[in-house]
Amino acid sequence: MDIQFFITILIGFGILVIILFGIDIYQLTKKSKEEKGVMSLKFSETFLIELEKIINQEVKKTISNTSEKINDKIAQSFEKQATSLFEKAEEKLFSHSEEIKNQSLKFNNACSSAEQLVIKQAEKVTEQLAQSLDQKIDQVYQAATKSISQKIDQTEKNIDNYKKEKLNEIDQKIFQMIEDVAKKTIGKSIDLSLHEELVIQALEKAKKENFL
């Protein structure tokens, strides 16, 4: 674009030179044909030198202006591009930053989920272990209790049997002693008929004493 601008200026300047050269030829044609040829040649040489100077100056000026403009344009373009790049870079940075934030959040969430999962898993495993342990303890306890209970039952039965046996022995001895005492009291041993007779006597006595 800057080169096109430069070429346009050069073309414009060329056209100006041609116009001035045309004017000069026109003035020379108005004078005499003799003078015209010498003067025209002189004028042309001076003019050409001046024109060259002017052209050089204009070219230099134009080059300088163009260079300045180009530099400005380049500077502006650079600035624009730099701004654009900066903005894009900022956008990219922001975008990456957001992405990083999101990823970080996701990572944190994932970590948190993983942590929760691990905790849950650990809790589950702990619970299972505790249950298993409880069951084992219970089994051992039950087995021990059953065994102890059976031994206690057996021991209690043995004690009861022994007690009954001894009490029977004592009862027998007591009854024997009582029989002996009874024999001494009523003067004879007690058979079934005497037992029955004694019951009838008891009833008669109860009636006699107005109990019945």
Partner 1 sequence: MTQTKEQPFLDQLTKDVSTKEDLVFFLEEISLIEKLIFKKINLNLSEKVKPIVSENFFKKIQELEEKNLINKNPETIQNFFNNLKKSLLAIDQIKIIISFKPKQTFINKIKSWLEKELRQNLIIDFVHNPEIVAGAIIEFQGKQFDCSLIQKIKQLNLN
Shortest distance in whole angstroms from residue 162 CB to partner 1: 22
Within residues 148-207, the interface with partner 1 by CB under 8 A covers 175, 178-179, 181-182, 185-186, 190, 192, 194-196, 198-207
Q: Which of the 8 DSSP states describes residue 210?
A: T
In 3D space, the residue among 128, 134, 109 whose CA is nearest the CA of residue 120 turns out to be: 128
Shortest distance in whole angstroms from residue 153 CB to partner 1: 30
Nearer Cβ to partner 1 (4/185): 185
Q: Distance between CA 187 and CA 181 in Å, rounded?
A: 9
Nearer Cβ to partner 1 (34/209): 209
Total interface residues for partner 1 by CB under 8 A: 25
Shortest distance in whole angstroms from residue 169 CB to partner 1: 15
Within residues 37-66, the interface with partner 1 by CB under 8 A covers none
SS3 state at 31 = coil
Length of the chain (residues): 212
Shortest distance in whole angstroms from residue 166 CB to partner 1: 17
Nearer Cβ to partner 1 (30/208): 208
Nearer Cβ to partner 1 (60/205): 205
Shortest distance in whole angstroms from residue 165 CB to partner 1: 18
Shortest distance in whole angstroms from residue 210 CB to partner 1: 10
Alpha carbon of 77 to those of 66, 84, 85, 198: distances in Å?
15, 10, 11, 147
Question: Can you give the C-alpha Rg of the chain in angstroms?
Answer: 71
Alpha carbon of 187 to those of 95, 191, 192: distances in Å?
128, 13, 16
Q: Positive or negative CA dihedral for 23, 26, 31, 37?
A: positive
Nearer Cβ to partner 1 (26/211): 211
Nearer Cβ to partner 1 (119/178): 178
Category of 133 on φ-ψ map: left (φ > 0), alpha (ψ -120 to 50) or beta: alpha
Please return the burial class of 70, using the count of CB atoms within 10 Å of its CB with bins 0-12, 13-18 and 19+: middle
* Residues making contact with partner 1 (CB under 8 A): 175, 178-179, 181-182, 185-186, 190, 192, 194-196, 198-207, 209, 211-212
